[in-house]
Chain A
Amino acid sequence: MRGVISAAGYVPHHRLDRSEIAGFFGAGGGVGTRAVASYDEDTTTMGQAAADLALRSTDVEPAAVWFATSAPAYLEKTNAAAIHAALRLDPAVDALDLGGAIRSGIGALRTALAGCGTTLVVASDTRDGRPAGADEASAGDGAAAVLVGDDSDGPLLAEYLGGACRTVEITERRRIPGGTRSRSWEERFGAHVLGPAALEAWQASLADSGIGDADDVDRVVVTGLNTRAVAAAAKAIGAKPGGIVDPLVSTVGNTATAHPALLLCAALEQARPGETIALVALADGAETLILRASEAVSERRPVAPLEAQIAAGGALSYGRFLAWRMLDVEPPNRPTPDRPSSPAALRRLDWKYGFAGSRDRSSEMVHLPPARVSQKGGAADDMDAAPMAHTVGTVASYTVDRLAYSPSPPVVLAVVDFDRGGRMPLELTDVEADEVHVGMRVVPTFRRLYTSDEIHNYFWKARPVRPGDGGATQ
């Protein structure tokens, strides 16, 4: 039996209230909020955050990481390798990017479910559109990770029953490489083509799953970037009333490549044992798959439930959103930082990506960064790795630096004392400067500090522990 072993969504902290767009431009926007990746997040860091949450609720380790996004941080270089490193996975674990197309997210998931081996499918997207346009408002940023494997690997949350696809070569949603925004054909045409394709795939997946009637499917995710096509497909497949899973458009927005997996996470968090869950994703045709929730869903305690993540979001002004996404805002008058050295980064991979310090065996002192010689007692080469990524810390002191270079000044620096030992002055993120206080509880988070000479400098910051978001669980 094959299926989902673990699944987790990641919704970035910041929320843009869509009414702010109309307040600024006099038009556009809409109602509700959209999730916005912080200036120091990209699809890789958000994918890592989701993957980390998924792996933390199981003991099963993946044999491969597949990473799907339409907004890769790098081309040619494998972004999944950075996620792999930040998860401290064994080098024997494969890491692959399935890049470019929005369809790659659902495709990776269905391929993993239909295939073999234990695969961590990570889908992540940041979505932009021109200011005041529909894409900008309706889109959202986010990520989801689904650990797929056999029941012999570990207990399944949901069993894979079957799936199908219909492929249509259609000039609808598209973007030329290097372009910053995507374009689409008239929506009605997409609906005309994708609606029937979704229905055909749906019927094929019902047959593949041995389900006779659409009424037997309890929860249906229907998603795609063409809202008219999504509505048409939802109607055509005849899902039972109340069975359509909330597409999270009013809170998160459409996270495109990540959205099918993100909504699957949402459905799994609500599902009762025995319920069937279907995913219908519209892109260049349609991909569908059907799962059945196992007994395990009732015992499952997500590390960071999506509902809690959505509720914990913090407001982001439209001005700051524009500054993060497209405006060239005046920076502090400081030189941009140097690019990180590739050999230096590789030598300290487990520090830079894995946030693992070292613990001296004789004094127990935690050294951040890892050291060969102990600060206490001077013992040499007698340390164990001290992974800190999941360790909560307390702000011992902090300051706000309005002079230092940052992609989004000011820099908030906190001296963080970690529970069970270890101190590190760390930049804080996902926080307003006036929110910070001594004693604040924070947890490490993998971020992109800056980009220099076309090298993304990934490292760890700390963010406040927020209610129910997983930071406080350890």
Chain B
Amino acid sequence: MSSHGICDRVAVIGMGCTPFAEHWDLGIDDLIIDAAHSAYCSAGIAQHDIDAFWFGTAQSAASGLGMAGPLKIQGKPVTRVENYCATGSEALRQACYAVASGAYDIAMALGAEKVKDGGYQGLNAFPIPTDGTQRTVGAAAMFSLMLPAYADRYGVDRDELRYAAARIASKNHHNGARNPLAQFRREVSAERICEMPAVAGQLSVFDCAGVADGAAAAIVCRASEAHRWCADPLYVKGLSVVTGTGAGSLDPDYDYTTMPECVLAAADAYAQAGVTDPRSQLALAEVHDCFTPTEMVLMEDLGFSERGTAWRDVLDGVFDLDGELPVNTDGGLKSFGHPVGASGLRMLYELWLQLRGEAPTERRIPDTGRTLGLTHNLGGYPGEIVSFVGVFGTELDAEQR
């Protein structure tokens, strides 16, 4: 038994992404249509050229009908997938595997979420009947547990650590201010974030991802066929999902300073992609910054920083737009908000732009000659997580060419 991956067997040949915003005037159907049509246009492909569709949405529709209907996809398989906040990445993973298996020539993954029709700030609850014994707190509170745990484990001053977390938000807002698709386009200083009132643990509202509607889509085909459609495709190097058992909420050995599911997913994806030193090999990473402590701990879980040092790397600017390894160059969930089904594909959209030199100059990463990028997308809470890691690159490995 092993995870073999599909390195260099599938390529992304076109992508689309809507602006992420409070789309009071657009419904889920509009978002689906806008993202899909923009992806068709990007790939220079017609809808009928696509053989199969995967539709990622957590709460905005049920079944493939929610996508086939608005797009009028005739006589094709359309499958809805859901895997919490990693839903968009899961749709991509299914589409890639379907193509790699040889079952289909061309497939599309589309993620979309309409969050702002709920009438409340924040994401909606999953309406599954239960015995009423599940936790009553929100995601912000669960992720806020990581800051004091980290401070205690590594002997970091709590105020200094809190500042490092705020600096992550400040960095992502800096990047988002340079992205016309982002929901929030204003810069904010770490100092100002630290002064804001706490809403969960030490976290202020600015330590939390925004809430937005949006959609994004990717079209994939066999790598060997990619140049028929696209001069500079993005090759799938590794795709991994690791789903936890909820062990952290059961096992007193778990200490809230890491997300083991993310560590495992990264190791799997790196092995598939042949990545041995992500910090020096990756050109950029788009990670799931749902809350600032999440991004900080991810820098260690994904192997970018040694344990206990991510906060220092953050302060040193390692992950800044012009840093050693730029992270969330598009502004992240922080600037985009988090339409659950769309976020994973929105991350890939930034790789699509950056690695292929299409990102606007004001947020383009320095040219380091690196050709690989990473997306990381998670759902759940520390202790019970579903984690996705994907590695993508512009070059085929030597033996594949």
Contact = CB atoms under 8 A, between A and B. Distances in A.
Contact of A338 (B118, B125, B201): B125
The 5 closest A-B pairs by CB, nearest first: A340-B132, A401-B141, A341-B129, A399-B201, A344-B131
A403 B141 contact: yes
Given A334-B138, A399-B145, 13 more contacts: A344-B130, A345-B132, A348-B131, A375-B247, A399-B137, A399-B201, A403-B200, A413-B142, A415-B256, A423-B254, A424-B250, A425-B142, A459-B133
A400 B140 contact: no
6 contacts: A337-B136, A367-B250, A399-B144, A411-B137, A417-B252, A425-B135
A404 B133 contact: no
Contact of A341 (B131, B201, B383): B131
A449 interface: yes
B129 A400 contact: no
A334 B118 CA distance: 10
Interface in A358-375: 365, 367-369, 375
Contacts of A183: none
A159 B120 CA distance: 60
A406 interface: yes
A335 B124 contact: yes
Interface residues of B, number: 39
Contact of B138 (A340, A403, A415, A421): A403
Interface in A410-433: 411, 413, 415, 417, 421-425, 427
A347 interface: yes
Contacts of B138: 334, 401, 403-404
Contact of B148 (A339, A427, A438): A438
A181 interface: no
Name B's interface SS: loop
Contacts of B148: 397, 438
Interface residues of A, number: 46
Contact of A396 (B118, B124, B252): B252
A391 interface: no
A391 to B, nearest CB: 13
Nearest to A421: B252
Given A341-B129, A411-B137, A400 B201 contact: yes
Contacts, number: 131
B198 interface: yes
A404 B136 contact: yes
B121 interface: yes
* A contact patch SS: mixed
Contacts of A345: 131-132
B152 interface: yes
Given A335-B124, A341-B131, A427 B137 contact: yes
Nearest to A450: B136
Nearest to B148: A397
Interface in B114-168: 118-122, 124-125, 127, 129-133, 135-138, 140-142, 144-145, 148-149, 152
A433 to B, nearest CB: 10
A405 B249 contact: no
Given A338-B125, A348-B133, A402-B200, A368 B256 contact: no
A14 interface: no
Interface in B39-76: none
A352 interface: yes
A438 B256 CA distance: 13
A318 interface: no
Contact of A334 (B120, B131, B152, B198): B120
A400 B247 CA distance: 22
B131 A403 contact: no
B195 interface: no
B252 A403 contact: no
B132 A459 contact: yes
B251 interface: yes
A317 interface: no
Nearest to A348: B131
A452 to B, nearest CB: 9
B198 A400 contact: yes
Interface string B160-204: 000000000000000000000000000000000000001111000
B224 interface: no
A67 interface: no
A152 interface: no
Contact of B131 (A347, A396, A411, A417): A347
A141 B247 CA distance: 40
Interface in A85-131: none
Interface in B211-262: 245, 247, 249-252, 254-256
Interface string A324-344: 000000000111011111001
Contacts of A202: none
B137 A401 contact: yes
Contacts of B201: 399-401
A457 interface: yes
A404 B141 contact: yes
Interface in A258-274: none
B253 to A, nearest CB: 9
Interface in B83-126: 118-122, 124-125
Given A340-B130, A352-B131, A367-B250, A401 B200 contact: yes
Contacts of B122: 334, 403
A423 B250 contact: yes
Nearest to A347: B131
Given A333-B121, A338-B129, A345-B131, A424 B249 contact: yes
B198 to A, nearest CB: 7
Contact of A413 (B124, B137, B256): B137
A119 B119 CA distance: 51
Contacts of B137: 399, 401, 404, 411, 413, 425, 427
Interface in A147-184: none
